[in-house]
Structures are given as C-alpha cells and as structure tokens.
Structure 1
Amino acid sequence: MRTLCASTLIGEFFVIGFAGLVAMKLDDLSVGTVWTVCGIAMLLSLVLCGMITRPGGVELGWVLQVALFASGFVVPAMFVLGVIFAALWAASVHFGRRIDEAKARWAEQSSAEADAV
C-alpha cells in the first residue's frame, strides 16, 4: 500500500505547487498567504508518504484530499483535480491493501513450503 499511496501523494505535491503558481496571480490573495497554505499542504503530502502505514495515515490522506478539492474555491481547476486525486487515493488505498494481503499470503505459503522441505 505504501508505494501506491506515496506515488499519489508525490503527484499531489507537484499539483499543489502548480496550483500555488496559479493562485499567486490572483488579485484577491497575497503571495505570502498563497505560499503559506501551499507550503503546509505540500509538506503534509511529503510527511504522509512516510507515515502512510502508521495509524491515522490513511485518514490524514483523506483530509488532504478534501483540502485539495476545497482549494477549488480559489482555483476552480482544482475541483476537477481534487476529484481525480481523490479517486486515485481511493484506488491506491484499496489496491494497496489487496497487494499487502497477497504478499502476506505468499510469504505464509513460502514459509510453509520451506518448513515442509
């Protein structure tokens, strides 16, 4: 699960950075505000890469997905990207867990075969 989820989070890191560049050009927001919010979100995406398998990691990932979608109120294209990344996140979590289960079964079978020999 870690690899799939981390890949999604790294993609989000770059998307958040590019969204910050777009938001920086808006007259309503100061550059400092944009980069403070984007910096926190980018940092969170990187930190989550390392803690995805720990308790609460997946839930914090969902919080980031909601925040990414909500950023569409500032940069409207983020509504679409937020939906895309939420779908990628859901797929990463789902298929990552299935892969982890398959690896555990394979390790168990290999161990049983080694004990039998």
Structure 2
Amino acid sequence: MRTLCASTLIGEFFVIGFAGLVAMQLSDLPAATVWTVSGIAMLLCVLLCGMLTRPGGVQLGWVLQIALIASGLVIPAMFFLGAVFAALWWASVHYGRKIDAAKARWAAQGETAGDPVADPA
C-alpha cells in the first residue's frame, strides 16, 4: 500500500505546485497567501509519504484529498483534478491493502511449505 499511496502523493505534490502557479495568475489572492497554502499542502504530501504506515496516515491523506477538491473554489479545474486524485487515493489504499494481504499470505505459505529458494535440499 505504501508504494501506491506514496506515488499518488508525489503526483499531487507536482499538481499542487503547478496549481499554485495558476492561482497566482488567475486569482485575486496575494502571492504570499497562494504559496503559503500551496507550500503547506506540498510539504504535507511529502511528509505523508513517510507517515503512511503509521496510525492516522491514511486518514490524513483523505483530508488532503478533500482540501485538494476544495481548492476548486480558487481554481475551478481543481474540482476535476481533486476528484481524480481522490479516486487515485482510494484505489491506492484499496488495492494496496489487497496486495499487502496477498504478500502476507504468500509469505506464510512459503514458511509453512518450506521455501525452495532458501532451502535447496
């Protein structure tokens, strides 16, 4: 799950940065406000990559997804991009957990059946 979710977050990092550039040109907000909000969101993306396996990491990811959708109030295209990334986040969490469970089952089967790679006898 960690790899899929981290990939989604890194993609969001770049989208938020580019959205900040667009917001500077299209909104009436001061550049300092745009970059403070964008910078915090970008920093949160990077920090969440390391927090995914800790309690609350995935939930904070959902908060970030909601904030990304809400940024559509400033840049209307972000409603669409936020929804796309929320769908990617859901898929990363959902399928990542399935992959983790399958890996755990596979590892358990290897331990009980004797690993032919580790035990060539």
* Same fold, judged at TM 0.5 (above): yes
Alignment of 1:10-21 (within 5 A): 10-21=10-21
Question: Cα–Cα, structure 1 residues 27 and 69, in superposed 2: closer, same or farther, change >3 Å?
Answer: closer
Q: Which runs of 5+ in 1 are unaligned?
A: none
Take 2:110 and 2:48, find their aligned partners in 1: how far apart are those partners?
32
Aligned residues: 116
Structure 1 residue 49 corresponds to structure 2 residue 49: yes
- Determine what percentage of the aligned residue pairs are the same residue: 75
> Following superposition of structure 1 onto structure 2, how do residues 1-117 of structure 1 map, counting pairs within 5 Å?
1-114=1-114
Structure 2 residue identity aligned to 1:5: C
Residue type matched to 1:33 in 2?
Answer: T
Deviation string, structure 1 residues 49-107 (Cα, Å, up to 9, x no partner): 01111100000000000000000000000000010000000000000000000000001
CA separation of 1:103 and 1:27: change in aligned 2, threshold 3 A: closer
Q: Give 1:26 shift.
A: 2.9
The runs of at least 4 aligned residues of structure 1 exceeding 3 Å deviation read: none
**Any gaps of 5 or more consecutive residues in structure 2?**
none
Q: What amino acid maps onto 1:29 in structure 2?
A: L
Specify the structure having the higher radius of gyration (Cα): 2
Give the RMSD, CA atoms, in angstroms: 1.2
| 3-state SS of 1:25 partner | helix
